[in-house]
């Protein structure tokens, strides 16, 4: 039998669009609806799979629909991609397909949360999307289990890390190396999606400096978009100060790469002239020999998938909040102050 993926490929659209057509969502243009319906007919997709029967997780014909939704912001970001890879590795052996709902604008969050409970899914995993109390309540009331990864909401199980602790780990490493002018490169505390991880990592940075008796110099703190190019420009500014920092904490490896690019273009040696530490330990970090704070990206995806599978198998809902361990990974971009 043809799958949603086959329909999506034939229509050259995302699986989420196909799901919206199947569930008669009003957020699909007539032209797009006709295009998807034509593709269903062309590939032989059986529309009897469209509606959920009385038992959650079954189709009108009594078969498992075998679909797990994944709601994520910017799925092509390295950290999101690695989490999704972990999810897929767990779900595929159980015969589940992943339906990806990618968010690229804050306004899409409310739209998706409103429509998701009505879609023909067996479960849902939400990655890094900040949810309001109302969002959490709506997803908790859905006819299938929902698990959160890298975000939290009341009444829903979650798999997270302690970002404040991660900021402390990164900064303490540099303090232990003798650095006293330590800069911070991260995202704005107030941002359209409401992400909080960078702000929490900055809290950890600030706490360590205060405990070490070092000043928290606002001139050494830079906020900007989560882009290499933005981090590169912020680092140009920092390294052009009359008294530049000797070390920089970046709140992601993507930003840390921008920091390294700026240092190289200015002829600053890493770590002799400036030490750099990132956060996440994406695959690029090891290639760049970047010292970083490792969070278990793939493992968090696998654990989120496990919780969904357990909820489906047991027919029960959990409110378990799990916190995974993080660790410092020492490589070549940090060294003693000189």
Q: What percent of the chain has pLDDT over 90?
A: 76
- CATH class (in words) of the domain with range 163-294: alpha beta
Side-chain half-sphere exposure of 322, counting CA atoms within 13 A: 18
DSSP three-state, residue 288: coil
User: What's the pTM value of the predicted model, to 2 decimals?
Assistant: 0.81
Rounded CA-CA distance 280/87 in Å is 17
Name the CATH architecture for the domain at 1-50: Orthogonal Bundle (1.10)
Alpha-carbon gap, residue 302 to 300, rounded angstroms:
5
SS3 44: coil
Q: Which helix (H) or strand (E) is 292 found in, with range?
A: strand 291-294
Q: What is the DSSP letter of 39?
A: H
Q: Hey, how many other C-beta atoms are within 10 angstroms of the C-beta on 274?
A: 28
62-160+296-326 and 163-294 in the same fold: yes
pLDDT score, position 291 = 98
The structural domains of the chain, with segments of one domain joined by +, span 1-50, 62-160+296-326, 163-294
Question: How do the pLDDT tens digits run along the chain, 338 residues long?
Answer: 466 677 878 888 876 677 777 766 666 788 888 888 888 888 877 654 333 433 434 444 444 458 999 999 998 899 999 999 999 999 999 999 999 999 989 989 999 999 999 899 999 999 999 999 999 999 999 999 999 999 999 999 999 999 999 999 999 999 999 999 999 999 999 999 999 999 999 999 999 999 999 999 999 999 999 999 999 999 999 999 999 999 999 999 999 999 999 999 999 999 999 999 999 999 999 999 999 999 999 999 999 999 999 999 999 898 899 999 999 999 999 999 98
Return d(Cα 4, Cα 22) in angstroms, integer.
10
Angstrom distance (rounded) from CA 98 to CA 123 = 10
Specify the DSSP class assigned to residue 94: G
Which CATH number describes the domain made up of 62-160+296-326? Answer: 3.40.50.2300
What CA–CA distance (Å, rounded) separates 264 from 106? 35
């Amino acid at each position: 039998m043809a799958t949603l993926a086959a329909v999506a490929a034939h229509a050259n659209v995302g699986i989420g669009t196909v799901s919206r057509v199947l569930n008669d969502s009003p957020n699909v243009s007539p032209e797009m609806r006709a295009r998807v319906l034509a593709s269903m007919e062309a590939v032989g997709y059986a529309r009897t799979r469209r509606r959920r029967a009385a038992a959650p997780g079954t189709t009108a014909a009594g078969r498992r629909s075998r679909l797990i939704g994944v709601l994520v912001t910017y799925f092509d970001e390295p950290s999101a991609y690695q989490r999704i890879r972990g999810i897929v590795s767990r779900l595929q052996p159980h015969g589940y397909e992943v339906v990806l709902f990618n968010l690229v604008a804050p306004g899409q969050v409310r739209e998706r949360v409103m429509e998701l409970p009505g879609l023909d899914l067996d479960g849902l995993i939400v990655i890094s999307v900040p949810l309001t109390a109302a969002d959490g309540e709506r997803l908790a009331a859905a006819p299938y289990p929902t698990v959160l990864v890298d975000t939290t909401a009341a009444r829903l199980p979650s798999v997270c890390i302690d970002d404040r602790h991660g900021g402390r780990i990164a900064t303490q490493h540099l303090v232990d190396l003798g650095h006293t002018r330590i800069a911070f490169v991260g995202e704005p505390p107030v941002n359209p999606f409401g992400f909080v991880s960078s702000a929490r990592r900055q809290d950890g940075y600030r706490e360590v400096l205060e405990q070490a008796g070092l000043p928290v110099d606002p001139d050494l703190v830079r906020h900007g978009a989560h882009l290499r190019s933005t981090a590169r420009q912020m680092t140009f500014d920092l390294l052009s100060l009359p008294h530049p920092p000797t070390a920089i904490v970046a709140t992601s490896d993507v930003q840390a790469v921008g920091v390294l690019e700026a240092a190289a273009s200015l002829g600053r040696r890493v770590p002799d002239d400036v030490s750099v530490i990132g956060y996440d330990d994406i695959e690029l970090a090891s290639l760049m020999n970047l010292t970083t704070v490792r969070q278990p990206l793939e493992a968090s995806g696998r654990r989120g998938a496990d919780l969904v599978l357990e909820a489906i198998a047991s027919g029960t809902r959990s409110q378990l909040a799990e916190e995974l361990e993080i660790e410092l990974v020492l490589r070549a971009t940090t060294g003693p102050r000189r």
